[in-house]
Amino acid sequence: MNENNILEIKDLHVSVEGKEILNGINLLIKKGEVHAIMGPNGSGKSTLANAIMGHPKFEVTRGSVLFEGKNLEKLSADKRAKLGLFLSFQHPLEIPGLKFKTFLRSAFNSVSKEKLSFMDFNKLLEEKMKVLALDGSFINRSLNEGFSGGEKKKAEILQMLILNPKLALLDETDSGLDIDSLKLICESINSLKKEEFSGLIITHYKRILTYLKPDFVHVLSEGKIVKSRGHEFADEIEEKGFSWLAKETTEEI
């Protein structure tokens, strides 16, 4: 086992309701690295994130997912979260009647070895809210109920800042965000990178990658990673789109 590896995916095949979506994903993320996954609609990007997190709908039929050398195969999503995995959902659920602040404290206590007092948690919460320029009324609302698209994304990122995961899976966090909100969110993610934060960013567009500057950009097509390069690869994708994929020879990572 290489102690510098945070996530290692080997020959991963994933099916949903009997239909194979991923057919041989290989990916290695080292501690402190941020990777981006791009690709056309239906290529399997969200499936990959959900499979890593252990969503029961996504059946792993072959291959393995190792997190810090530990095989995640038999672990439920909540146990994976306790290990330090976090998934920011593309479409967060609305839960009427559950105060966002209460949810955050419950989530923190469920994954953290350190149990903070009410006052200490409030101090932590206020500190993280400042990063996203949020006021106190935001966390006293019901979780995601009546939130705009941008507010839902900020709520997901606030949760990430509170939980401080070892590896964050961010599924289209940039969708629906105006430029100011996008900059705030990217600044908050970059602040975690100073603490050996690792991330996997799923996106259709270059703009979030302009601010995050991932170490690697991967293109996913028809359930496989077909090309991997440095962060400048996003510029080429922005220019050419994904139509060139059929003409390119699949490259090994």
Using CA atoms, how far residue 23 sits from 17, 48, 55, in Å, is 15, 11, 18
pTM of this prediction exceeds 0.85 = yes
pLDDT reported for residue 220:
93
CA distance 169 to 172: 10
Q: What are the residues whose beta carbons fall under 8 Å from the beta carbon of 31, sequence distance 6 or more?
A: 4, 5, 6, 166, 196, 198
User: In the block, which residue shows the tokens 């993610």?
Assistant: 189
CA distance 249 to 252: 10
More confident residue, 72 or 136: 72
| Range name among 68-77, 80-89, 182-191 with the lowest pLDDT average | 182-191
> Sorting pLDDT into bands at 50, 70 and 90, what band is 250?
very low
Both tokens assigned to 180: 């100011």
Mean pLDDT over residues 27-54, rounded?
A: 94
pLDDT reported for residue 60:
96
Do the Cβ atoms of 253 and 29 come closer than 8 Å?
A: no
Both tokens assigned to 250: 């699949």
The helix-helix angle for 118-131 and 100-111 (nearest 10°) equals 110
Residue 43 identity = S
More confident residue, 239 or 1: 239
Strand order in the sheet with 167-171: 85-88, 167-171, 198-202, 34-38, 216-221, 224-229
pLDDT reported for residue 172:
87
More confident residue, 211 or 72: 72
| Range name among 33-42, 49-58, 85-94 with the lowest pLDDT average | 85-94
Helices (H), 59-198: 77-83, 100-111, 118-131, 149-163, 179-193
CATH topology of domain 5-91+166-247: Rossmann fold (3.40.50)
> Sorting pLDDT into bands at 50, 70 and 90, what band is 251?
very low
Mean pLDDT over residues 132-140, rounded?
A: 88
